[in-house]
């Protein structure tokens, strides 16, 4: 009886918060899929080689296929109490041939959850605006050949900032309970041939960032006016969307948590 009692004792949970960088081209996104390689599955395989147990990683955001991350945060429960550096170095050893890298590892309490503890998420969309196709930045930015008016794009983008029903900018596959979100920031700036669109909010709908970018690019090309963008938002209808920008220009940049 004593042995059975000992066997029923719950094992302690050793939770780690990881900050990741990954190159999303060729991957099906963060979440494990039936077909294709995901960031989640790549990490799980690396962790199993390290700790000899199957574990699951949970991210602050579920990026789409082809989307990149500069500082994605995730958490994982491991079977032993390892040092922070050992977790980072061991995972990176088994990730050497993969487009995923652990930048930081921190032991955290079990009430921390990468997704549900987050208070704000930050994304950047990168456009290369020139006639010549990119080589070094291929699959790392959206190449738009025609000139874009970034001042007009920024001005129009402010229409989307605030508390709105973003149904127009929401994928038909979005699983969020409500299309209503509060967008804190949507800034457009140019640096030579590079255009950066920075946005932040507590949370985003599926495809929301790419849909907003595609629509304000329409404004920058002169195909839409600011009033057209406003009407698209107010339509609350996916069919009113101008364009969904491709995934290769999108980067998950950072995420805030209460203790930070």
Which residues are designated catalytic?
Answer: 64
Phi–psi pair at 59, nearest 5 degrees: -100, 160
d(CA 160, CA 234) in angstroms, rounded, equals 10
d(CA 110, CA 207) in angstroms, rounded, equals 30
Residue 234: CB atoms within 10 Å: 13
Q: Inter-axis angle of helices 150-157 and 208-221, to 10 degrees?
A: 130
- Give Cβ neighbours of residue 256 (< 8 Å, ≥ 6 apart): 118, 119, 120, 121
- Let me know: does 141 contact 249? Beta carbons within 8 Å: yes
């Amino acid at each position: 009886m004593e042995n059975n009692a000992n066997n029923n004792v719950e094992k302690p949970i050793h939770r780690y918060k990881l900050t990741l960088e990954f190159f999303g081209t060729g991957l099906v996104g963060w979440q494990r899929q039936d077909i294709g390689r995901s960031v989640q599955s790549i990490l799980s395989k690396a962790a199993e080689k390290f700790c000899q147990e199957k574990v699951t990683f949970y991210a602050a955001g579920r990026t789409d296929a082809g989307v990149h991350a500069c500082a994605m945060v995730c958490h994982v429960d491991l079977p032993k109490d390892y040092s922070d550096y050992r977790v980072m170095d061991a995972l990176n050893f088994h990730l050497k041939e993969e487009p995923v890298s652990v930048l930081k590892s921190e032991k955290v309490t079990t009430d921390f959850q990468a997704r549900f503890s987050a208070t704000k998420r930050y994304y950047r969309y990168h456009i290369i605006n020139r006639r010549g196709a990119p080589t070094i930045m291929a699959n790392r930015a959206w190449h738009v050949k025609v000139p874009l008016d970034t001042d007009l794009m920024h001005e129009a983008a402010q229409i989307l900032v605030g508390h709105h029903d973003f149904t127009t900018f929401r994928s038909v596959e979005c699983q969020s309970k409500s299309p209503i979100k509060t967008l804190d920031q949507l800034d457009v700036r140019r640096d030579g041939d590079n255009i950066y669109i920075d946005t932040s909010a507590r949370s985003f709908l599926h495809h929301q960032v790419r849909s907003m970018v595609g629509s304000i690019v329409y404004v920058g090309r002169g195909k839409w006016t600011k009033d057209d963008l406003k009407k698209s938002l107010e339509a609350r209808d996916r069919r009113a969307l101008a364009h969904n920008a491709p995934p290769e220009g999108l980067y998950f940049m950072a995420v805030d948590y209460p203790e930070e």
